[in-house]
Chain A
Amino acid sequence: MKRLNTLTLLMAAAALLGAFLTASPAKAASKNLILATTTSTQDSGLLDVLIPVFEKESGYMVKTIAVGSGQAMAMGEKGEADVLLVHSPEAEKKFMDKGAGSSRRLVMHNDFVIVGPAGDPAKIRGEKTSAEAFKKIAQSGSIFLSRGDNSGTHAKEKGLWKGAAVTPEGQKWYQQTGLGMGQTLNVTAEKKGYTLTDRATYLALKKGLGLEILVEGDAKLLNIYHVIEVNTAKWPKVNGPAGKAFADFMVSKKAQEMIGKFGVDKFGAPLFFPDAGKKPESMGL
């Protein structure tokens, strides 16, 4: 019977594991909140600071799904997320027009910057407008890395190319990673190319990248984040109260203060600027 030992051992292990998994209490469904958001809020570390505070205050358990803004809104449109934290204003307006969201509130902003190698082969350093910089990159045929994933950054970048009257798709120097911002920055550094990035992710990854900010400060480079509650009238399974609680938290005084302070100790400057309650017009929207 000695040979049976292996089997008994396996069965015991199975029972043990089963007990393990069921022992971790499944929280009541209504206490779960699915937050679909952009990669920049996770890769910069902002959510790691905000979410624990919200969870403690509200008792909700937040399931953060960090994808691009495009995918986040696609999840919202299917009722697969309760609340969105996104930065793709044009697409957000369409999302609201479709009735997919019940409220959309301004949370914060920072800005996009054009980064590239210190050598700057396209000579865009200090260029005042993003359009001029993009034109020069295209003319010189320098490698440009695009997110290519319908994220907020990708949407912004497509708009900038349009403004520069350049069609980059299909060009040899124009490459799409299909990855998040952090990984796209790594690819850009490796290829010594140019890319458009939000300032927060760039600062968080700066060390060791070897990429420099070459163009900044253009009004077109503003990066604005909104929190959107998914419409429960359209999707009854969406956790409305939880979504509202999170959206309310994001624009609350406490969260706004935390957003304004985030990154100051590490980078010497804030990564995001709180904007709750401001009129969209004041942001040039």
Chain B
Amino acid sequence: MDLILDGFRMAWHLLVTLDKEVLGVTLLSLKVSGLATLISLLIGVVGGTVIALAEFPGKRILVSVVNTSMGLPPVVVGLFVTIMLWRNGPFGEWEILYTPAAMVIAQTVIASPIVMGISIAAIQNLPPNLRLQILALGASRPQMVWLLVREARLPLLAAIMAGFGGVISEVGASIMVGGNIKGYTRVLTTATVMETGKGNFDTAIALGIILLLICFAINYLLTLVQQRERPR
């Protein structure tokens, strides 16, 4: 029990003194996971809308694949991205393994199916006649799609939360493709693993608490937006 209290004390200490290293690690976590979430939002919402609205053979299989991918294990993603980015691998020319960019790529691969899966469900859950109504009122096809996405924006906000929550808390892919390099690719989760390995449990707990606080703050903000826009 003392240990957990020590952890809280340490977290408080690191936060109020604005410890430079912890601040850097926290900011990097936010940047990498934030950017990955935004990219996957683009991929996920566009892809999800197309899949939800289009009719084509094999649609059910594709949706099943997307839904399965929502649970992609981060370490498996990390392994494949690492192999792809190796110097002597297919994308070795880019020389981005062990950089924040590589972490963004891996996290985007993890978050995109989550956003896409929720998007598909959100669009498909709209009343089926809504499309016909919008078209009947004289909207063009792009206008119709835009209106549908807007109608589904509340579940889409949930998609952002799920995607962001998934990537900021994952450690397997980040440690593999980032390498946990001090001051460069060390994020909250990989630092927690390392401090545990070093036996600095109080620091590890403190980092965990900071991670939870950030997740809470971001989800709170998104929830505020979501609840404010509750449809009448």
Binding site for B on A (CB under 8 A): 3, 6, 10, 13-14, 17-18, 20-21, 24, 26, 29, 32, 34, 39, 42-43, 45, 48, 51, 61-66, 78-80, 179-183, 185-186, 204-205, 207-209, 235, 237-238
Contact check: which of A20, A65, A66 meets B31 at CB < 8 Å? A20
Knowing A6-B225, A64-B181, A186-B199 touch, does A79 contact B87 (C-beta < 8 A)? Answer: yes
Q: For the complex, what is the distance from the CA of A34 to the CA of B87, rounded to whole Å?
A: 11
Contact status B38-A79, CB under 8 Å:
no
B150 within 8 A of A: yes
B88 touches A10 (CB 8 A): no
A205 and B31 contact, CB distance less than 8 A: no
When chains A and B are docked, how far (Å) is the Cα of A182 from the Cα of B194? Answer: 9
* Set of chain B residues within 8 Å of A235, measured between Cβ atoms: 87-88
List of A residues within 8 angstroms of B161 by Cβ:
none
- Residues of chain A with a CB closer than 8 A to B87's CB: 79-80, 235, 237-238
A193–B56 Cα distance when bound, in Å, is 60
Q: How far is the CA of A236 from the CA of B102 in the complex (A)?
A: 22
> Are A205 and B182 in contact, CB atoms less than 8 angstroms apart?
no
A6 touching B88, Cβ below 8 Å: no
Report if B163 contacts A (CB, 8 A).
Answer: no
Q: Which residue of A lies closest to B104 (CB)?
A: A21
Instruction: Kindly name the residue among B150, B179, B225 whose own CB sees the greatest number of chain A CB atoms within 10 A.
Output: B179
Known: A17-B38, A64-B181. A207 touches B199 (CB 8 A): yes
A48 touches which of B97, B182, B197 (Cβ 8 Å): B182
CB neighbours (8 Å) of A34 from chain B are: 98
Query: A17 CA to B108 CA in the complex, in Å?
Result: 14
B104: chain A residues within 8 A (beta carbon) = 21
Whether A13 lies near B34 (C-beta < 8 A) is yes
Whether the Cβ atoms of B88 and A182 lie closer than 8 Å is no
**Considering the complex of A and B, which 7 residue pairs feature the smallest CB-CB distances, nearest first?**
A182-B197, A205-B199, A14-B38, A237-B87, A63-B98, A17-B35, A65-B179
Cβ contacts B150-180/A at 8 Å (1 or 0 each):
1001000000000000000000000000011
| Residues of chain A within 8 A of B88, CB atoms compared | 78-80, 235, 237
Q: Are A183 and B31 in contact (CB under 8 A)?
A: no
Q: In the docked arrangement, what's the CA distance between A43 and B198, Å?
A: 5
Asked if B214 is at the interface (CB within 8 A of a chain A CB), the reply is no
Q: What are 15 contact pairs spanning A and B, CB under 8 A?
A: A3-B150, A17-B35, A17-B38, A21-B101, A64-B181, A64-B182, A65-B179, A78-B88, A182-B196, A182-B199, A185-B199, A204-B198, A209-B199, A235-B87, A237-B88
Among A29, A45, A78, A182, which residue has its beta carbon within 8 angstroms of that of B86?
A: A78
A43 CB, nearest partner CB in chain B, Å: 5
